[in-house]
Structure 1
Amino acid sequence: MIETDDGHLAELIAEYEENGWCHSPFRFTGPAVSLLRDSLDAICRRGGPEVVHEPDSTAVRAVHGCHEFDEAYAALVRHPYLLALAEALTGTPVYVYQFKVNLKQAREGQAWPWHQDFAFWNAEDGLPTPAAVTLAVPLDDVHEGNGPLMLIPGSHHVGYLGPGKITRGDSGDWRKNFAADPEHVMDDARAQELIGTFGSTRATGPAGTIQAFHPNIVHSSSDNTSPDRRALLMVSYNSIDNAPPHPTRPEFLVGRNTDQLKPRWDDHLPLERVP
């Protein structure tokens, strides 16, 4: 098991508070990533209401709530290290608010526009505050050609910039926000202003790495123009005192069990230090 009392959590907290983003010195091993990737492939084949496709395509764009029915993902969200990191960055006990894997299939995966996650969560679910954190684990190697996240470090200091573009009206179709033209996105000119102030960076790296993102950091991703798939697993942990009062989106999008999540070690999901 990985010990978390070696002082690195304090360094990650400082990095996270400064940049709205931090990169753990640990990652999941190759066998652990293979296990998670196999589960993802099985879920994509099985289909279901949790699976979203690219527009007018059979290519899977995202899957949601897999931790509720898949053994490997149920173990992942309870991983002692992930919970310790989430609790350190939020400063509170947490539960799983949202679980998803965003995919960009080879040469088919489409971009995500500039946005803040809290814009969606506040507008769609009534999440009171951004007292949450998203831990991201790529299940494929991520490089500049297969649609990595583009981040504006420090943009979370600007705070919540508003709900952005509203295009759905009263249709109530939650899938709209997982298509190529979602709601609550940021005007590109505003994003470029922020880049002029804070700069930008791409979240590239090998499969299994662990990164954390603030709900208010401004980010986007490009089309996948490469022959390599990009699957990015994201667990959004929320403070148990910050649950939305009356969520209406499906439970596989918005977790209803707001009890503090308890850690549980699984030998199939070991970590190793990043070289």
Structure 2
Amino acid sequence: MTFAPERITDLYPTRGATEVASPRQDPVVWSAPGAPGPISAGHLADYERDGFLAVDQLITPEEVTLYRGELERLISDPEMLADERSIVEPKSREIRTVFEVHKISQIFAGLVSDPRVVGRARQILGSDVYVHQSRINVKPGFGASGFYWHSDFETWHAEDGLPNMRTVSVSIALTENYDTNGGLMIMPGSHKKFLGCAGATPKDNYKKSLQMQDAGTPSDEALTEFADAHGIRLFTGKAGSATWFDCNCMHGSGDNITPYPRSNVFIVFNSVENTAVEPFAAPVRRPDFLGARDFTPVR
């Protein structure tokens, strides 16, 4: 006797005929009240309310130098330029992003398993975690393009098959983030509502979306409503600072037309109790370097 595979209820329909906003069905902080961890109870409450948590200095200046040197080594490596895990800037044809850096580099693998980093992820998600995605981002001066407004979870649910909002990202600054060089913008509180976007997902959508988002992009009308309701927060900070943010935050970044580069390392932790299934709104899975299928907990 054979059995059909168990179907998982789609709590967050998206990529349909119309754009639909619906309340979040999942907790924001998954750990029990008073659970031990590096985040204070007050800051954890702020994270639950706003969807993000800024840390003025997560890593030391000496560590910034180490990680920035490793970033420079990777983006200047001719082999990385030809690697499918590297995304190039359309105008300059220089590397702007390298994915799966925790597997490419032992130095970045060490950062992923650092208690200051993975400890916060475990505390927020209330379980062991694995890396759903990692990358280094390079936004050089004089014209590096930004990323349009979006919810990461919308893509990870639609195209990677993450069932629930039990995923957290951390962006660690390796250069200073000014208010002028294309920094991260988040709409505080936007994580409490899911915006299901309109339009079907093209096959191999990731090849286009990694350079310019199309499928999964909110409408101007929806973004205006979100911005009017929540406002917009722009993150600045010294190299070594970090921003933790919920997977469903509406966020984006502008172009960098200043002389001052902006580079960061970006790590996405997912709960081992929220492992990926088949995509909810895409014809095929994205490659593993975008949405991991190795669910081994970070130790």
TM-score, scaled relative to structure 1: 0.87
Partner Cα distance (1:116, 1:184) in 2: 8
Number of the residue aligned with 1:102:
137
Q: Which amino acid aligns with 1:169?
A: P
Instruction: Name the larger-Rg structure.
Output: 2
Partner Cα distance (2:214, 2:64) in 1: 29
CA deviation profile, 1:165-216 (whole Å, cap 9, x unmatched):
55x622x152212113443121233212111111111011111112111111
Number of the residue aligned with 1:79:
114
Q: Say what the alpha-carbon RMSD is for the aligned residues.
A: 1.9
How far 1:5 sits from its partner (Å)? Answer: 6.2
- Report if aligned partners of 2:58, 2:116 keep a CA contact under 8 Å in 1: no
- Report if aligned partners of 1:9, 1:85 keep a CA contact under 8 Å in 2: no
Number of the residue aligned with 1:249:
286
Partner Cα distance (1:177, 1:127) in 2: 18
Secondary structure of the 2:40 match is helix
Q: Which amino acid aligns with 2:147?
A: W
Gaps of 5+ in 2: 1-34, 280-284
Partner Cα distance (2:49, 2:148) in 1: 24
How far 1:21 sits from its partner (Å)? Answer: 0.5
How far 1:12 sits from its partner (Å)? Answer: 2.4
Compare 51-60 and 121-130 and name the one that shifted more.
51-60
Number of the residue aligned with 1:259:
296
Partner Cα distance (1:8, 1:124) in 2: 31
How far 1:244 sits from its partner (Å)? Answer: 0.8
Number of the residue aligned with 1:162:
196
- Report if aligned partners of 1:60, 1:105 keep a CA contact under 8 Å in 2: no
Gaps of 5+ in 1: 263-275
How far 1:260 sits from its partner (Å)? Answer: 1.9
How do 1:235-246 residues align onto structure 2 when only pairs under 5 Å count?
Answer: 235-246=267-278
Matching residue within 86, 99, 102 for 1:51: 86
Secondary structure of the 2:62 match is helix
Query: Are 1:27 and 2:54 matched, yes or no?
Result: no
Partner Cα distance (1:118, 1:196) in 2: 22
Number of the residue aligned with 1:141:
176
Partner Cα distance (1:123, 1:210) in 2: 27
Matching residue within 76, 88, 103 for 1:68: 103
Q: Which amino acid aligns with 1:240?
A: V
Partner Cα distance (2:157, 2:38) in 1: 34
